[in-house]
């Protein structure tokens, strides 16, 4: 999984499977988190966000889970499709009220 | 791309020349940001704006300046481009400060 600070990891899944992309954050005071999707040659696209007073939030085919105890964030994509192939990265808003972006995880969906 | 355009989309320039990148939004969002994206790094904030003529520095502001004379436009200027400024530059906008940011398509800049 990803950390705001590690080299770009990769995840390869079969079409139709569920994908789980992880993100570890370091600042226990971070209060807001965002997941982005970035396709090759394009700008980052907002997927879903979550505040620190929540543990889980669901969107269309995506779920974000926040575990503040271990400072871990995950993005679950249900029934992964080839169009989901992209780099996914998380962002956290720390105590300085600035967003810090992770380097991302490359998701490859095999047909 | 949430009503955000960037121009030019690609540029090749020589070391020492000035370069200006433009970000234009049609969302009327108050906050605008310039980031650079490089391999091995997450998006890094260069400068941001919290209103017309109100700007502040980000973590990698050296060698860059910005201007915002209208709500919809945010310009990034490299006064004298260096090879280390070869990067992909993204503009972003948000309604609230440091809340969800929506990104433009990016500008690929190559400084030779």
The per-residue pLDDT for range A9-22, each reduced to its tens digit, is 999 999 999 999 99
Is B42's CB within 8 Å of A89's CB?
Answer: yes
Map residue B62 onto helix, strand or coil. coil
pLDDT-derived band at A2 (thresholds 50, 70, 90) equals very low
CA neighbor of A46 nearest in space, from B27, B24, B82: B27
pLDDT digits (tens, 9 = 90+) for B54-91: 999 999 999 999 999 999 999 999 999 999 999 999 99
Residue A7 is predicted with a pLDDT of 57
Interface residue of B4, B32, B34, B42 to substitute, partner A, most A CBs within 10 Å: B42
Residue of B nearest to A31 (CA): B99
pLDDT digits (tens, 9 = 90+) for A13-57: 999 999 999 999 988 899 999 999 999 999 999 999 999 999 999
Residue B41 is predicted with a pLDDT of 87
pLDDT digits (tens, 9 = 90+) for B11-25: 999 999 999 999 999
Chain A residues within 8 angstroms (CB to CB) of chain B: 4, 7-8, 32, 34, 36, 41-46, 49, 89, 91, 93, 97-104
Complete DSSP assignment for chain A = -EETTS---EEEEETTS-EEEEEE---TT--EEEEEEE-TTS--EEEEEEETT-SEEE-SSEEEEEETTTTEEEEEESS--GGG-EEEEEEEE-TTS-EEE---EEEEEE-
Q: What is the rounded average pLDDT of the residues A64-82?
A: 96
The shortest CB-CB distance from A97 to any of B42, B45, B98 is to B98
Residue A68: how many CA atoms within 13 Å on its side-chain side?
Answer: 13
A36: distance to nearest CA of chain B, Å?
Answer: 10
Backbone phi, psi, residue B85, to 5°:
-95, 5
Q: What is the rounded average pLDDT of the residues B37-66?
A: 94
Residue A101 is predicted with a pLDDT of 93
Q: Which residues pair with A72 in a beta bridge?
A: A24, A67
The shortest CB-CB distance from B105 to any of A34, A43, A49 is to A43
CB atoms within 10 A of CB A62: 19
Q: What is the rounded average pLDDT of the residues A3-9?
A: 57
């Amino acid at each position: 999984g990803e950390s705001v600070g590690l080299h770009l990891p990769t995840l390869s899944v079969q079409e139709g499977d569920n994908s789980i992309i992880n993100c570890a954050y370091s600042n226990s005071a971070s209060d807001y988190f965002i997941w982005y999707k970035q396709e090759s040659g394009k700008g980052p696209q907002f997927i879903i966000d979550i505040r620190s007073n929540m543990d889980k939030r669901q969107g269309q085919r995506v779920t974000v889970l926040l575990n503040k105890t271990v400072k871990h964030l995950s993005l679950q994509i249900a029934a992964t499709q080839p169009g989901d192939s992209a780099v996914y990265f998380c962002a956290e808003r720390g105590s300085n009220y600035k967003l810090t972006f992770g380097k991302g995880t490359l998701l490859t969906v095999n047909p | 791309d949430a009503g955000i355009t960037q121009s030019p989309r690609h540029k090749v320039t020589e070391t020492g020349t000035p370069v200006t990148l433009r970000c234009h939004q049609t969302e009327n969002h108050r906050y605008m940001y310039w980031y650079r994206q490089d391999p091995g790094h997450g998006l890094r904030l260069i400068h941001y704006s919290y209103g017309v003529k109100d700007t502040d520095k980000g973590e990698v502001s050296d060698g860059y300046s910005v201007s915002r004379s209208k709500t919809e436009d945010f310009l990034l200027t490299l006064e004298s481009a260096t090879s280390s400024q070869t990067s992909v530059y993204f503009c972003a906008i948000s309604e609230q400060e440091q809340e969800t940011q929506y990104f433009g398509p990016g500008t690929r800049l190559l400084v030779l």
